[in-house]
Structure 1
């Protein structure tokens, strides 16, 4: 890589090299400890003789701006790299538009803004310690080898065929999804899936129906695309179809494990939801984010599997099951919207990284994903039992858990008044990371309660954490004002 210097004319060459290196350091383009090219190489790149470059290096070294190490090279010294230059901001024509983006709600962008607690109940985070790293490493090496076959070429926008075929088998096996490989589009996580669906289905002012309480990121994403978001209440069976507006184009739901409350949508409610979508011509987005982990009752069909009119888009995030940093998910789409979605994906980022896709296809086909889910199921089941036991005994005077049969988070409603904000603050100071349900409500009256993820806490730590929470609640019952002042 060439060092970007511009030589003009043939006079004062050494001075030009000297002053431009100084300028590069002051602007932050060259930083402290960064290595410079050898004098011979830089002279060749600039099209001048070596002597002016060597003279400039000597002056810079004498001034302690550069440091020369025998056998290693020349580096920017301690006095260099004071940081990037300050640029005076221009009055941008788009400043009002940019200002609007600062107002969007992004609650999960910094999940540990207050620091990670010793006993952490944050939701949506799987257990990384139990991920099969060695098996994944071998699959990554396989992906690198496969990638070398088509090196220098773009991959298919909808995804590598081997992965889409593997997803068809996995989704059919685990969730009863019925589709062909051509209906599967691989994305950079469920978040991109939602973004692409909004692009092709919505226009400014279009109505989107979302659950309330529900996933705040989806709500904000659709609003950022100019849509009008209609918040539809949920009850014990899921979203209430009769409350969905007649002009809704898109209905976003989490039927297998309602986010954030956790209850599954009943079969009768699924049927009613499909009928309502057919009546108004809306597309249903079924976000199936963590239902591979099921603990009670009989398996339930996905909404997509009982759709007979091509109204349901099934989306899932393999990042949630495996590791969040993978950022890989997929959508199963009806034929009617497939071409538009592929065009939007192509315009957005062309395709998801092919090496990761090849690796994931092998990970699925070799049985590692199923084994990982089974192992995770056992781990999460024990944590879930410990949490349910703690709420049924130690925390029963204050909270009642919302019935849930899947996933690795649950919700608990307070059945008497509890100052949730105070409980969270005191819990954090006691080493317990607790989270409120309030932020998941939008128009509906928020219910007091806790959102409890158990992907990041060990089973043996749950009893200790519950005991600490119980101690805080007992003190709060005795006088929250004293606690607040003394804290």
Structure 2
């Protein structure tokens, strides 16, 4: 790569070169420790004499901006490489919009490993010890071979056909979803699927309904798209369909494992929701984020499998079953939405990385995904059972578990007055990460309780952690 230097005329070339190199160093464009080209090479590149370059280098060395190393070359001196303070920006025409995005919270972001509590009940996270890295490595090598055999072109925005077919088979088998290779769209996680579907449906001022409590990133996403977000409360059967207002265009639900409380939506409520959506002409987004893990009772049908009018957009993710870092998700879309979302996907990022798509397709087709889910089920089942035992035993004076049959988190409601913010603070000091339910509420009176994620805490760590929680509760609210 050539150093970017331009000359104005052919006079004072050494002075021009000196000033441009000095400004590049002072502004930080030439960072500390950067090696500059040898005088002979730079002179050839610029079409000037070697003496011209040598004079400029000499002045920069005298100014302590460059320093020579015997046998290595000439480098930018470290102590003078800091850039000048930035000038105050001029007023921005879009300042209000920028401020809206800048000030928006970032809920449910996972903290860095070094700041996590020793015993952490964080939701939406899993331990990497369960992931079959050797198998995934083999699938990735296969993906590399597939990529080397194909032309260096962008892929289909809808996703690799081999992966879409594998996903359709998997969710048809595991969740009863009615999907074909033509109805599946591969995304960078379920969050992108949510963004794309809402983007083609929402315009400023339109009405969107979501559960309360519910998934905060969805609520913020809808609000950022200038929708009127209506928070509809849930009861023991799920979303209160009778409270969905007229004029609603989009309804967001988590019917298989309500987030964050955990109860499933009853069959009667599902049929009522589908009927109400048909009456309104509204699209339902079904976020089926972690229901592969089911611990008791017969499997419940997905809402999408009950849909006979093409009103449900079904979203799923592999972040929960595999690794969040892979950023692989999908949407099963009704025909009326498919092409619009496909265009939005292309305009957003063209397509999900093809290498990861090939690897996941092989992983699913060889049966490795189902094997991995079965292995994780055994682990999560034991952790879940132990937390429920403690909630029903020595923690029962303070907390009561919300009935839930799927996923890898559960919630517990406080049935005596407890200062939950103080509990969370003191627990953190005792190296236990606890997460209150209050931040998940948008409008309804928040229920006092905690979310217990058990994907990222070892089975042997659960009792020591809950022992500490019990001790703190005894001090804050003696039984």
Q: Bin the TM-score by the shorter chain.
A: over 0.9
SS in structure 1 opposite 2:320? helix
The answer to which of 136-145 and 34-43 deviates more is 34-43
Q: 1:244 to 1:40 in 2, by over 3 A?
A: farther
1:91 aligns with 91
| SS class of match (1:462) | helix
CA offsets 1:388-410 (integer angstroms, 9 cap, x no match): 12211221110001111111111
Partners of 2:412 and 2:198 lie apart in 1 by 32
Q: What displacement does 1:237 show? A: 1.3
Secondary structure of residue in 2 paired with 1:294 = coil
Query: How far apart, CA to CA, are the structure 2 residues paired with 1:257 and 1:111?
Result: 24
Report the equivalent of 1:214: 214
| Range with bigger deviation, 439-448 or 240-249 | 240-249
In structure 2, the partner of 1:445 is 445
Question: How many angstroms does 1:271 deviate by?
Answer: 1.3
Structure 1 residue 478: deviation in Å?
5.5
Look up the SS of the partner of 2:78 in the other structure.
coil
1:9 aligns with 2:9: yes
For residues 230-379 of structure 1, what are the structure 2 equivalents within 5 Å? 230-379=230-379
Measured against aligned partners, the alpha-carbon deviations of 1:431-476 in whole angstroms (never above 9, x if no partner) come to 0010110011111100100011111111100000000001111111
Greater Cα shift, 26-35 or 324-333: 26-35
Quick check: 93-102 or 252-261, which moved more? 93-102
Q: Is the 8 A contact 2:417 2:477 kept in 1?
A: no
Q: Is the 8 A contact 1:211 1:252 kept in 2?
A: yes
C-alpha change, 1:365 and 1:424, in structure 2 (3 Å) is same
TM-score, normalising length: structure 1: 0.94
Q: Equivalents in 1 of 2:47, 2:181: separation in Å?
A: 55
Match of 1:125 in 2: 125
Residues 156 and 351, structure 1, Cα contact 8 Å, conserved in 2: yes
Equivalent residue number for residue 483 of structure 1: none
Whether 2:147 is the aligned partner of 1:143: answer no
- State the secondary structure of the residue aligned to 2:471: helix
> What are the Cα deviations for residues 315-357 of structure 1, in whole angstroms up to 9, with x where unaligned?
1111222111211211000111111111111111111111111
CA offsets per residue over residues 65-101 of structure 1, 9 Å max, x none? 3343445443322223214641321101111222222
Runs of 5+ consecutive residues of structure 1 not aligned to the other structure: 480-487
Aligned to 1:418: 418
In the TM superposition, 1:95-174 aligns within 5 A as: 95-109=95-109, 111=111, 115-174=115-174
Contact 1:105 1:217 in 2 (8 A): no
Aligned residues: 479
- Bigger mean CA deviation after superposition, 390-399 or 414-423: 390-399
1:114 Cα deviation (Å)?
10
- Structure 2: distance between partners of 1:4 and 1:85: 23
Q: Secondary structure at the match of 2:473?
A: helix
Contact 1:237 1:263 in 2 (8 A): yes
Q: Provide the alpha-carbon RMSD of the alignment.
A: 2.0
